[in-house]
Structure 1
Amino acid sequence: MGYLLTGLLLLNLSIGYAVFISMYRQKSAMQDRFAMTMATVESSVLSLSISMIVFFILPGSIVFTSLITTIIGIGIGYAFGSLLKFQSLLAGVFQGMIGGIMGPMLAAVIEDPAICSLPATYTNQLSVNIAAFSLFSTLVVLITSFLVYYSLRI
């Protein structure tokens, strides 16, 4: 399970890096509205997925892990928001922070379904649920990144 999560984390990071580099190269073609949308969407989806996977990988307290993932989310939002203007920077940082906070919340419910008063039968399928949600979030990052990249081409 650890290899799968590490591989998905590296895949998410490489997707985010590839999208950032491609947007950085074409930042002269960006308009304010596109930069705002790109910073909002890309930073929130990417930081949510990465922070959820980091929560699964790192053992320890939920407070420490949430603090680390929030800082990661703010960094992702800063990177994508800094491509054009200050308003997109502000939106990127805010959405990255929200994604960094929400990722551990979602991961905590996946690890312990009793938090939301779900039946204990879901605990028997813990590794399947972790793998399924991690794969699904990586798929969402991939589709979102493709759509953002494609919308710049139009």
Structure 2
Amino acid sequence: MLILVLLLWNVGEMVYIYNVFRKKHILFDDRYIKMMCMALSTISSFVIALYLQLLLPLHSITYYLPSFAGLWIGWKFGSFMKAPASLNGLYNGALGGIMGMMFGAVLQNPAICNIPIETEASLASNLMSLVIFCAALHTVVHHFIRNSLTK
């Protein structure tokens, strides 16, 4: 339940910053836009892919959905950049989506990376603490970018 609430929180935050950035991106130069799009697409796709990996059941149909969500996020934020640099947003979105998908898989089963886990309670505790940390990191990055857009 907490993961679903955090997913909705971060999606709402991402949609809000996308709308603000869409209105104000023409006021800034290309390097500034590129840096902001890289940060937004990487962290947003990482966090959204992580939550999707943790929420969706492991099935062959839903297995690649988190990485496709990361690609879509990178494509949307990369569309603010000019033509050759727009692939940078797509790349960062795909990279964040794949990393979020892998991180979610390791959180669900730490034996993939030979991480010893003693009890099921410590696994759940680590999962919740890392999920809350990712949500806080996403919120901080979006807060910094939102504040830099208003100045």
TM-score (norm. length: structure 1): 0.90
Establish whether residue 145 from structure 1 lines up as the match of residue 142 from structure 2.
yes
| Preserved contact between residue 70 and residue 101 of structure 1 (Cα < 8 Å) | yes
2:108 to 89, 111, 131: 111
Per-residue CA deviations over 1:99-144 (Å, capped at 9, x if unaligned) read: 1111111111111111121113164322222221111111111111
TM-score (norm. length: structure 2): 0.91
Q: Distance in 1 between matches of 2:133 and 2:27?
A: 32
1:121 matched residue in structure 2: 118
Which range is displaced more, 116-125 or 130-139?
Answer: 116-125
Q: Distance in 2 between matches of 1:47 and 1:150?
A: 21
Structure 1's 37 and 22: CA in aligned 2 closer, same or farther, altered over 3 A?
same
Per-residue CA deviations over 1:80-107 (Å, capped at 9, x if unaligned) read: 1112312442111100001111111111
The residue type equivalent to 2:46 in the other structure is L
| Preserved contact between residue 41 and residue 89 of structure 2 (Cα < 8 Å) | yes
Q: Distance in 2 between matches of 1:141 and 1:105?
A: 18
State how 1:63-142 maps to structure 2 within 5 Å.
Answer: 64-121=61-118, 123-142=120-139
1:60 to 58, 61, 66: 58
Q: Distance in 2 between matches of 1:95 and 1:17?
A: 18
How many residues get paired? 151
| Preserved contact between residue 41 and residue 93 of structure 2 (Cα < 8 Å) | yes
**Percentage of identical aligned residues:** 28
Post-superposition offset of 1:5: 1.0
List gaps (5 residues or longer) in structure 1: none
Please provide the CA RMSD for this pair. 1.6
